[in-house]
């Protein structure tokens, strides 16, 4: 839908607002451009409808080089919402919404029908509001109309430049929810500039984080929260949000990936040897298909070494386990309640994929932004 | 006093036709000047708003023009164009231009830049932005300039009978020459009334032309 190729924007005073930007936005994607002020996000947005023209590089919209398209025609097929709302105060709500359709030469009746169709989408009664003037509406209602105005001529692509930035927090949240619902219904391609991380996390399918005219990270909200590319990203996201996200981390991210395993027929002496070699205090017992059978700890071997010969004889039947995808916090909760030292992680077919131990908790704590905690570090460490 | 008023009244009645004619002439003179002022001033103001480099020089020239005493300007233009109505209109035009030019420029530049950018971003051409956004929003400021220009024109027109432009000045100067209070007033009162009425007329026009959306804004700002 939109493709930036090596796009640079230099202002006459020499500042480079955007540097060699390469970015592709697919049809139907909701992409948030985010970053501190002066990072080039708004410049990037405004280059799409040629309110700002790139110094170098090419921008394609729908496969067309936009520098080869008449800017007036280009803009009429791209919706545009600005922070200051920008409704024309001397026009009624209907006139405001129907402005681009009118520019495109739609007849009166079609404009009227379109307004009637659009207003209910944001919970405004057409009969009540169409003939009012922007001044007679609250800020939130005005920006709802601002969004509708961008949708009026049915563009596939909509540019939004901090559209909710000037609204109070409660109204802002209501409008975000409405936009999300609207997007679920209409599947537009939306490029959305914001400096509010919560907003980006809430709305975006994909977040492009910029700094000093360059993309620092480009990924899903999940990616950014879980694997921030560097300290800048982590700081920008904020520890609090990352910690919240970490709580929902699935077990496979923190588990020990290759726990020490042994078959049920393994002798106790051999098992002790194995544990000593690997410096662990337990082995997971599996069958030939790597299916989980049980867990045997060094303590159990010590208790049973007179009566039993193989691991199969002393392992606890029906061992507790969690499936891949369960949140780490849930696994730790279970270990605490059931007084477990180890919790094997299995896939759907009960095949062993990893092991959660008490040191997993340490990894989790380190992720939550404790001093020297490296966010995004994978769960390695000495096994139990 | 009563005697004077009855003398004044009977003079008005017996000279009604001629006085009416002079009033109409006066009004034509002033309105023609305002008309030319609008014709040059509005496009001029629009150009100034677009090419800001023009603002300094243009305002300097029109301001300088404004400071020249009307009689001196009239004499000067009379030498160039001779006696008559045309010269009168030219003199008045010099005085209507500045307020209209300035008001147009101020009106257009005071339109919220965010609105102009929104208009541009939605795909309006420059002409459409001017016609559909900038001028409607600049209208109330523009009309203030028109009002000032009209009142100046009606007032200044009274002295232009001296260069043969006609109008109520003729009656006033005739009264001065003959030391006739009645005749001075017979010219001065209609001229004053004309100015007051023009002022009221333009206020009415402003209310009619301004969008209700903007009216709400102003009353809200006042309360």
Per-residue model confidence as pLDDT tens digits over A250-286: 787 778 888 888 888 888 888 888 888 888 888 888 8
- Report yes or no on A379 lying in a domain: no
Query: What residue in B sits closest to A70 (Cα-Cα)?
Result: B123
Q: Do residue A72 and residue A161 come from a single domain? A: yes
- Residues B161, B92: contact at Cβ < 8 Å? no
Q: Do residue A199 and residue A311 come from a single domain? A: no
Q: Do residue A90 and residue A116 come from a single domain? A: yes
For chain B, list the domains and their CATH numbers.
15-211 (1.10.3720.10)
- Residues A251, A321: contact at Cβ < 8 Å? no
Number of structural domains in chain A: 2
Q: Do residue A104 and residue A132 come from a single domain? A: yes
For residue A84, which residues of chain B lie inside 8 Å, CB to CB?
112, 114-115, 118
Q: Do residue A73 and residue A120 come from a single domain? A: yes
> Which residue, among A289, A293, A329, has the nearest Cα to A311 in the 3D structure?
A293
- Report yes or no on A382 lying in a domain: no
- Residues A235, A217: contact at Cβ < 8 Å? no
Last residue of a domain, one of A225, A247, A269: A247
Q: Do residue A33 and residue A86 come from a single domain? A: yes
Q: Do residue A69 and residue A119 come from a single domain? A: yes
Last residue of a domain, one of A180, A213, A247: A247
Task: Centre a 10 Å sphere on the Cβ of residue B140 and count the other Cβ atoms it contains.
Answer: 18
- The CA distances from residue A214 to A35, A52, A230, B30, in Å, are 10, 17, 14, 62
Last residue of a domain, one of A247, A270, A298: A247
Phi, psi of B186 (to 5 degrees): -60, -25
For residue B217, which residues of chain A lie inside 8 Å, CB to CB?
89, 135
Q: How far apart are CA A106 and CA A153, in angstroms?
A: 9
- Report yes or no on A125 lying in a domain: yes
Q: Do residue A131 and residue A73 come from a single domain? A: yes
Q: Do residue A235 and residue A326 come from a single domain? A: no
- Residues A80, B122: contact at Cβ < 8 Å? yes
How is residue B120 written in tokens? 């541009």
For residue A86, which residues of chain B lie inside 8 Å, CB to CB?
114-115, 117-118
Which residues of chain A, if any, have pLDDT below 50?
A: 370-384
Q: Do residue A191 and residue A331 come from a single domain? A: no
Instruction: Give the ipTM of the model, two decimals please.
Output: 0.80
A-interface mutation test, from B118, B137, B209, B212, most A Cβ less than 10 A away: B118
Per-residue pLDDT tens digits of chain B, which is 223 residues long: 788 888 888 888 888 888 888 999 999 999 999 999 999 999 999 999 999 899 999 889 888 888 888 888 888 888 888 888 888 899 899 999 999 999 999 999 999 999 999 999 999 999 999 999 999 999 999 999 999 999 999 999 988 888 888 888 888 998 899 888 888 988 898 999 999 999 999 999 888 888 888 875 444 444 3
Name the DSSP letter for residue B160: G
Shortest Cα distance, chain B CAs vs residue A5, angstroms? 22
Query: What residue in A sits closest to B210 (Cα-Cα)?
Result: A90
- Report yes or no on A180 lying in a domain: yes
CATH no. for residue A222? Answer: 3.40.50.300
Q: Which domain holds residue A359?
A: 252-367
Cβ of A80 and B125 within 8 Å? no
CATH no. for residue A314? Answer: 3.10.580.10
Cβ of B117 and A88 within 8 Å? no
For residue B214, which residues of chain A lie inside 8 Å, CB to CB?
89-90
Q: Do residue A190 and residue A326 come from a single domain? A: no
Q: Do residue A262 and residue A210 come from a single domain? A: no
For residue A134, which residues of chain B lie inside 8 Å, CB to CB?
213
Judged by DSSP in three states, B220 sits in helix
Query: What residue in A sits closest to B220 (Cα-Cα)?
Result: A135
- Report yes or no on A380 lying in a domain: no
> Which residue, among B138, B133, B213, has the nearest Cα to A93 in the 3D structure?
B213
Residue pairs between chains A and B whose CB atoms are closer than 8 Å: 72
């Amino acid at each position: 839908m939109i493709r930036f190729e090596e796009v640079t924007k230099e202002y006459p005073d020499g500042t480079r607002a955007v540097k060699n930007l390469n970015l592709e936005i697919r049809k139907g994607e909701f992409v948030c451009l985010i970053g501190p002020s002066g990072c080039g996000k708004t410049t990037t947005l405004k280059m799409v409808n040629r309110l700002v023209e790139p110094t170098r590089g090419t921008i394609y919209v729908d496969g067309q080089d936009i520098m080869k398209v008449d800017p007036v025609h280009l803009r009429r097929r791209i919706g545009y919402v600005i922070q200051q709302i920008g409704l024309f105060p001397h026009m009624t709500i209907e006139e405001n919404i129907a402005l681009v359709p009118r520019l495109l030469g739609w007849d009166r009746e079609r404009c009227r029908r379109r307004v009637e169709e659009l207003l209910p989408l944001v919970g405004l009664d057409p009969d009540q509001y169409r003939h009012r003037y922007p001044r007679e509406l609250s800020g939130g209602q005005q920006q709802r109309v601002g969004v509708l105005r961008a949708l009026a001529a049915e563009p596939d692509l909509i540019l939004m430049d901090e559209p909710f930035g000037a609204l109070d927090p409660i109204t802002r949240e209501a409008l975000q929810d409405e936009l999300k619902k609207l997007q679920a219904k209409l599947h537009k391609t939306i490029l959305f500039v914001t400096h509010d991380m919560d907003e980006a996390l809430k709305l975006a399918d994909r977040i492009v984080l910029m700094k000093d005219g360059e993309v620092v990270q480009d990924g899903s909200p999940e990616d950014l929260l879980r694997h921030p590319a560097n300290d800048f990203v982590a700081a920008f996201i904020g520890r609090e949000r990352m910690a919240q996200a970490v709580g929902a981390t699935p077990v496979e991210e923190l588990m020990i990936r290759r726990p020490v395993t042994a078959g049920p027929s393994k002798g106790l002496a051999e098992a002790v040897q194995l544990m000593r070699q690997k410096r662990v205090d337990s082995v997971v017992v599996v069958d030939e298909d790597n299916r989980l059978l049980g867990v045997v700890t060094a303590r159990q071997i010590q208790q049973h070494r007179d009566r039993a010969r193989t691991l199969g004889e002393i392992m606890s039947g029906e061992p507790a386990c969690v499936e891949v995808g369960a949140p780490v916090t849930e696994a730790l909760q279970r270990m605490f309640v059931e007084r477990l030292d180890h919790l094997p992680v299995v896939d759907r077919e009960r095949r062993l994929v990893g092991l959660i131990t008490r040191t997993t908790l340490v990894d989790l704590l380190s992720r939550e932004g404790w001093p020297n905690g490296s966010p995004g570090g994978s769960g390695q460490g000495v096994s139990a | 006093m009563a005697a004077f008023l009855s003398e004044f009244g009977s003079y008005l009645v017996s000279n009604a036709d001629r006085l009416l004619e002079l009033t109409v002439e006066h009004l034509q003179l002033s309105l023609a000047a305002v008309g030319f002022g609008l014709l040059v001033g509005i496009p001029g103001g629009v150009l100034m708003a677009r090419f800001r480099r023009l603002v300094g020089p243009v305002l300097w020239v029109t301001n300088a023009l404004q400071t020249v005493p009307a009689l001196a300007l009239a004499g000067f233009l009379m030498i160039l164009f001779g006696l008559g109505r045309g010269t009168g209109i030219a003199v008045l035009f010099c005085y209507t231009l500045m307020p209209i030019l300035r008001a147009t420029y101020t009106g257009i530049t005071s339109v919220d830049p965010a609105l102009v950018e929104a208009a541009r971003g939605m795909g309006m051409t420059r002409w459409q932005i001017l016609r559909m956004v900038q001028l409607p929003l600049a209208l109330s400021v523009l009309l203030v300039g028109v009002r000032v220009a009209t009142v100046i024109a009606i007032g200044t027109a009274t002295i232009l009978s001296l260069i043969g432009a006609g109008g109520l000045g003729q009656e006033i100067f005739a009264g001065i020459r003959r030391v006739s209070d009645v005749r001075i007033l017979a010219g001065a009162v209609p001229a004053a009334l004309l100015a007051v009425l023009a002022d009221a007329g333009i206020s009415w026009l402003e209310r009619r032309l301004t969008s209700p959306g903007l009216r709400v804004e102003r009353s809200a700002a006042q309360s």
